[in-house]
Amino acid sequence: MLPFSLVYHDGFYLPLGAHVFPGEKYRLVHERLLTTGAAAESDFIRPQTIALEDVLRVHERGYVERLIDGTLSEEEILQMELPYSKALVDATLLGCGGTLEAARLALRNGAACCLGGGFHHAHPDHGEGFCILHDVAIALARLLHDRAIERAMVIDLDVHDGNGTAAIFPPAGEHRRGSLQYGVASGSMMPSTEGVFTLSMHHQNNYPAYKPPSSLDVPLADGTDDAEYMEALEHALDAAFAHFRPQLIAYVAGADPYVEDKLGGLALTIDGLKQRDRTVFRAAQSVGAPVFSVYAGGYAMRVEDTVTIHANTVLAAAEVFSFHGATSC
């Protein structure tokens, strides 16, 4: 049995038809963890769909109503880059519920992994880049509202910049540009007024074209490999924790920094990505902050590789938290 819970529901499946986003990946990761014995049925918690009032703490009412009623404009649907359906909206609402459940479990037990979520490109008034509602922001906004936490950090290691997160939680303070060299951080190093510190380490020459400032941005060059990535990550985590001590960490563990990703541009191996996951979990443990992970993107040539990378996030958490136990503030 794992020393933390996994959050999963068959309803996470995104009905996208033929699409670069493998909508079945959540089910495949669930199956992989069970068939390999990495997890048991008793490790899983089934979430409930998110409440509308939680969604509306982050998203504009008009947009949410159009999304639910099926009255989005053609332009809004094009910007989502997903085939609109009521089933897609329901799956996303359930995914948001999963992320909130994982955040609560992390606060209770020190760690949790959600086998879904990470819709980090969603903005308050529109969806984009395969994301229609921002699950992580919705979960954090709810916990901040409940005063369950006052300070949270989002560590976003998807290959694409976390533009929605930065738009929802814009950092206070003056944005300081780092040097123009890749791998050099920039940002105000301050949280948003709500108390959310955003760290985005991403491939610079990639979607989205406009990258709003995070508290800390770490742009990476084309073809960044495992060693270069790990060095940048360790510096970024050290810098972030030197400036901010979160009471909860949301880890956006995108599988798309992988060398064989169709929408990537970095050159991480499967082992390198697992090392990345371990590093984040260890860092969370070392500052005594509960952490939960969500999946975000993953578009490997072979869907099995995406599944392996996502399953490894759970294995990495198990390695880190089995030896020393999950910590809690």
**Which residues here bind Zn ion, judged by CB under 5 A?**
158, 160, 254, 256, 297
Residue 216 C-beta: closest distance to Zn ion, Å: 18
| Both structure tokens of 157 | 């290691």
- What is the Cα–Cα distance from 76 to 78, expressed in whole angstroms? 5
CB of 148 to Zn ion, least distance (A): 28
Q: What is the dihedral of CA 182, 187, 189, 195, to 10 degrees?
A: -120
Both tokens assigned to 16: 């996208």
CB of 254 to Zn ion, least distance (A): 5
Q: Which is nearer to Zn ion, 47 or 264 (CB)?
A: 264
Shorter beta-carbon distance to Zn ion: residue 299 or 321:
299
- In the complex, the smallest distance separating the C-beta of residue 110 from Zn ion, rounded to whole angstroms, is 27
**b/e per residue, 82-120, with b = 16+ CB within 10 A?**
bebeeebbebbbbbbbbbbbbbbbbbebbbbbbbbbbbb
Q: Minimal CA–CA distance to 136: which of 66, 50, 61?
A: 50
Looking at the Cβ atoms of 147 and 302, the one nearer to Zn ion is 302
Nearer to Zn ion, 290 or 297 (CB): 297
Q: Which of 142/160 has CB closer to Zn ion?
A: 160
In the bound complex, what is the minimum distance in angstroms from residue 299's beta carbon to Zn ion?
8
Cα–Cα distance, 87 to 143 (Å, whole number): 27
The count of other CB atoms within 10 Å of the CB of residue 60 is 13
Position closest to Zn ion via CB: 297
